[in-house]
Amino acid sequence: MNAAETGLPIKAITAGQPLVLRLRQPEDVVPDVSTEWDHWPDDSLPSPSHDAPVRLVIEWGDRIVGTMSWHATDYGPTQGSRAWNIGIALTPDARGQGIGSTAQRMLAECLLTFSERVEASTDITNIAEQRALERAGFTREGVLRSAQHRGDGLHHDLVLYSLVRRDLNGGAPSTASRP
Ligand SMILES: CC(C)(COP(=O)(O)OP(=O)(O)OC[C@H]1O[C@@H](n2cnc3c(N)ncnc32)[C@H](O)[C@@H]1OP(=O)(O)O)[C@@H](O)C(=O)NCCC(=O)NCCS
């Protein structure tokens, strides 16, 4: 899937202001969105297991308030077994106003045009992101134990969430859901 095919930019109104997701451009001045989740051990960068992520910015009103990304996660050798894994980070002053849940829902719906499955994972202690994903309509699937090596030298558990096409179209069955 080509990023240009996704229909970006996509727009909504959130907390009374326009919310726009668009591809990140080299000239964008992106504010610091780093958090306590961004500490990584030097020995594991970059991971060779993923294609390079596609990077987006989130505009709210007249400013950039965050970044998003997606990369492929393959569950089999066929293109049909490819899911898109999304990530997000907002500036501190933009959090807690519905932007995170709205933006993740918007991007997921966009990517579900090209795949059956969009997923997101987050540290098991990141309650804000878990709530935001649930508010965006994602389903909590389970815990990936010791999945992510962090800067504290420990492997952290992740919680995995998904939104799949049949969540959008009233529960039409896929092969996987048949008994
Ligand atoms: C996680 C993040 C994307 C959530 O976006 P947000 O815009 O702040 O969240 P929303 O305003 O959409 O809130 C969604 C839900 O989360 C809850 N929430 C938001 N911040 C919270 C916090 N710090 N603690 C607990 N719950 C929180 C809201 O109350 C809301 O719950 P509700 O549906 O029960 O009302 C944002 O806070 C952020 O960028 N955090 C730092 C980076 C990060 O952790 N990214 C994810 C890494 S995997």
Which residues contact ligand 1 via a Cβ below 6 A? 35, 37, 87-90, 95-101, 122, 126-129, 131-132, 135
Mean pLDDT calculated for residue range 126-136: 98
88-121: b (≥16 Cβ within 10 Å) or e: bbbbeebbebebbbbbbbbbbbbbbeebbbbbbb
Pocket test for ligand 1, best of 86, 90, 119 (most atoms within 8 A of CB): 90
Residue 179, pLDDT above cutoff 50: no
Distance 178 CA to ligand 1 centre (A): 34
Distance 179 CA to ligand 1 centre (A): 36
Q: Model confidence over 83-96: pLDDT tens digits?
A: 999 999 999 999 99
Name the residue with tokens 């994972």.
121
Domains of the chain, each with CATH number or no CATH: 3-177 (3.40.630.30)
Cα end-to-end distance, the chain, whole Å: 31
Per-residue pLDDT band for 171 (boundaries 50, 70, 90) equals low
Q: Which two tokens stand for residue 66?
A: 């965050």
Instruction: Kindly report the number of other CB atoms within 10 A of residue 80's CB atom.
Output: 9
pLDDT tens profile 14-63: 999 999 999 999 999 999 999 888 888 876 566 766 678 899 999 999 99
Give the pLDDT of residue 168.
94
